[in-house]
Structure 1
Amino acid sequence: MAHSTLDISTPKSMDYQLTSTPTSADPQRLAGPTISSSASALKFMPAPMPLPSSELPTSNGTKAFNLLDLELIHHWSTKTYMTMSSRFASHVVWRDTIFAEALRHDFVLQSIIATSALHKATLLPKSSEAYAEYSKVALAYQDLALARFIPAVSKPSEENGIALFALSLFLTVWAFASRRLPEGLNNVRLELSHGDSPPGIFCAPHTPTAQFIEIVMIVRGVYAVIKETDKWLQGNIEELLRYPRNEELPQHSPDVLEAFDTLQRAVEDSQRLPVGDEGQILRELYLTQLQALRDISRCRTVVEWDGHIFSWIIMAPPAFINCLMQGQPMALAIFAYWAAILRCMDHHWWATGWPYILVADLVNVLDSTWDTVLDWPKKQVGLKFQSTPAFESRRLG
């Protein structure tokens, strides 16, 4: 079906009509306008989906503008943009710079509407009709955005580089949040031409770990997009790429250092890895990833930099990702530590809940010989009671 477009210019008057919010009895009205740049007058055209009567041409030749779209764009511009990152300096980028790209690239506008709808859904009771409606809208706009994005991502350029980068970030949010959608709607998928070529996943299907591994592959696809578009990511958008300086992050507390030392002793334990050259190669790989996790996890106590924790999994070498996908116990144990550290992101609506779910699943996957190693992750997510000196003094007082 041919794609229609929404032509944008700077007209003397806004020539559109508003329609009401769709209901479950009127599912076809989930379609919204798409957008592209043009020098012609402002016209709202239908999206490439079946049209309800309210979006047919009116007597004066204009197209009706869906009120739900306007509601969701407003929600993005007043609320959702602030939830994308903890850094205040990045909020204006999400609100203004990314939205400016939405006026030039329809898949960015569709991504904004999808993300806003998903955000609104997660603020509502799952049993409510409104939750189901916003979730359906989110999925519909995700599909529209990806239909435009997938062909474009194979031809990155200066003209679309920022737009591709923006959607890759939206895609990550969708992937993390999709488990909160109703059954059947959490099917965000994307095959990127520059992604990894992974082996089979040996984790039990439909488990949280297996689902998260699929998300890992999406996130790594994001990294591929970033590498392709990096040379065009200049100006305000660079704020989203800024890394903290070493002096901006505090050193680990003694209990965290002790936990990492416990994990390192497990990696160095010759009985936990194969003998010979294979075991030595794996040990060096795991020690390298452990050190990277030590360094990156210092961001966990600085809210401004909490999102930096994702760089560990995004930039992990393919060899480690393969070990993770194959269910290698040591790789899963290291991943359990990262999952526990991910708790610093629990205040984000799109990431909340994952730390507990992942650690609980990994504890069940790994046998009892890993109990001591997994002690710290379990305490971090609340699977095991963690006493403190202050609590002990009150208990014994």
Structure 2
Amino acid sequence: MGSVAGVLTPDADAFPYFAKFAASDTSIEDEWIKDLELMHHYTSSAYLTLPRATDIRHSTYAICASIHQNKAIFGLQSALGQISNENCHAVFAASAFLCICGFASYSSQNVADGRPAFENFLDVLLLIRGKSFILDSFSKTLHHGPLGMLFHKGDQNPAAPPILTTFIIQLRYLDSLITEGDPSSALCREAVKSTIEWTERVIESTHWPDLRFTLSWPICLSEGFVDLLKQSDPMALAIFAHYSVILQHTGNMHWYLSGWGERVIKDIGDSMDTDWRETIKWPLRIVSNT
């Protein structure tokens, strides 16, 4: 990305999900260069990395990022009304950048808005689910288009990260704590089951299962469970706190996720009655050891 005002900006690792955009591939370069909204997303992402390099122009960079992000959102909303096989590649890429910018906007390096972190995450959750709709609707076209290389998993997978193995074990224990007869119990059990299955799926299908899981978990959730999160249902928040352990883990390696996991777990812990503390014992222990 070069330098701005004499300050070196982060390298391509800042965009791991789209790292292959940096490859010398004319078809990919043409796809985002010719699309104005996609360029606004890219510019917003670039500005969001700059506060990490220096605090001197933090507010200026944040404002610039917000301006480009708002323009990109406006353009994306217009494009969604007429999405087709021709423009789905740019729309999908733009929506993916929007998800990254959503995480980055609320990261610990940016100005907090006073809302609990888990409430901010709900905004990002909706963005991720929207991106999934585009992928599901145009899966075949996307896989065979200029972005197809992003969906190739490679020849062999590395061993599953230990954190994901432990995560599955802890989810099964959490499932044993769900009380039958509670109005939300069925939705929470379904969410635990879906989360475990999704975790196992990403372990088998990608070289970066921890990051892939972090960025895609909302896709496997039901609308009913999302409503429970919006209502701050205790067991739903406990499941969310467990996910946030993985969020914290990936945040240690990827700037736009930095600070999220710890903030979410602490916010959930502060909002929990003592009767529910057992359900978030593992996430709280992870945070206390950092």
The alignment's TM-score, normalised by the length of structure 2, stands at 0.80
Note the alpha carbon deviations across 1:290-325, whole angstroms, 9 max, x for none. 4235525859xx974432112222232222222222
2:172 corresponds to: 264
Question: CA 1:241–1:294 in 2, change beyond 3 Å: closer, same or farther?
Answer: closer
Task: Supply the distance in 1 between the matched residues of 2:266 and 2:284 (Cα, whole angstroms).
Answer: 8
Cα 1:284–1:355 shift into 2, 3 Å: closer
Contact preservation (8 Å) 1:121, 1:134:
yes
- For residue 256 of structure 1, report the CA deviation from its aligned partner: 6.9
- 1:360 and 1:383 in contact (8 A); partners too: no
Deviation at 1:177, TM superposition (A): 0.8
User: 3-state SS of the aligned residue for 1:374?
Assistant: helix
Residue 321 (structure 1) aligned with residue 226 (structure 2): yes
The secondary structure found in structure 2 opposite 1:250 is: coil
CA separation of 1:342 and 1:283: change in aligned 2, threshold 3 A? closer
Higher helix share: 2
Contact 2:38-2:90 within 8 A present in 1 as well: yes
Higher relative CO (Cα under 8 Å, sequence separation at least 6) belongs to: 2
Distance 2:283 2:24 in 1: 33
1:81/1:91 contact within 8 Å kept: no
TM-score (norm 1): 0.61
1:36 alignment counterpart: none
The Cα of 1:113 is off from its aligned counterpart by: 1.6
Match for residue 108 of structure 1? 38
Which amino acid in structure 2 is aligned with residue 240 of structure 1? L
Match of 1:239 among 141, 149, 154: 149
Q: How does 1:326-365 map to 2 (within 5 A)?
A: 326-346=231-251, 347-365=253-271
Matches within 5 A, 1:1-397: 79=10, 81-85=12-16, 90-92=20-22, 98-125=28-55, 128=56, 130-179=57-106, 180-182=109-111, 206-233=115-142, 234-243=144-153, 248-251=157-160, 253=162, 260-269=168-177, 272-275=179-182, 278=183, 281-282=186-187, 284-292=189-197, 294-295=199-200, 298=203, 304-309=208-213, 310-346=215-251, 347-380=253-286, 382-384=287-289
Any conservation in 1 of the 2:175–2:189 contact (CA below 8 Å)?
no
Residues 50-89 of structure 1: CA distance to partner in whole angstroms, max 9, x if unpaired? xxxxxxxxxxxxxxxxxxx9977xx99x95543211786x
Deviation at 1:344, TM superposition (A): 3.0
Deviation at 1:211, TM superposition (A): 1.1
TM-superposition CA deviations, 1:22-73 (whole Å, max 9, x none): xxxxxxxxxxxxxxxxxxxxxxxxxxxxxxxxxxxxxxxxxxxxxxx9977x
SS in 1 for 2:147: helix
Contact persistence 2:40–2:68 (CA under 8 A):
yes
Matches of 2:23 and 2:35 in 1, distance apart? 16
Report the Cα offset of residue 358 of structure 1.
Answer: 0.8
| Alpha-carbon shift at residue 238 of structure 1 (Å) | 1.9
**CA deviation after TM superposition for structure 1 residue 216, in Å:** 0.9
Does the 8 Å contact 1:108/1:167 carry over to 2?
Answer: yes
1:258 Cα deviation after fit: 6.4
1:199: which partner in 2? none
Across the aligned residues of Structure 1 and Structure 2, the Cα RMSD in angstroms comes to: 3.5
Q: Secondary structure at the match of 1:206?
A: coil
Whole-angstrom distance in 2 between the partners of 1:334 and 1:104? 42
Shift of 1:148: 2.0
In structure 2, relative to structure 1, the CA distance for the partners of 1:147 and 1:293 (3 Å cut) is: closer
Gaps of 5+ in 1: 1-68, 187-204, 386-397
Q: Tell me the SS of whatever aligns to 2:257.
A: coil
Cα distance change of structure 1 residues 260 and 345 upon mapping to structure 2, 3 Å threshold: closer
Q: Are 2:45 and 2:97, in contact at CA under 8 Å, matched by a contact in 1?
A: yes
Amino acid at match of 1:237: L
- Amino acid paired to 1:135: A
Please tell me the residue identity of whatever aligns with 2:51: A
Conserved? CA contact 2:41–2:68, under 8 Å: yes
C-alpha separation in 2, matches of 1:159 and 1:257: 40
How far has the Cα of 1:175 moved from its partner?
Answer: 0.6
| Pairwise CA distance, 1:283 | 5.6
User: Could you give the per-residue CA deviations for residues 98-155 of structure 1, whole angstroms, max 9, x where no partner exists?
Assistant: 5322332111122222211221233221xx2x22222222122122222222111111
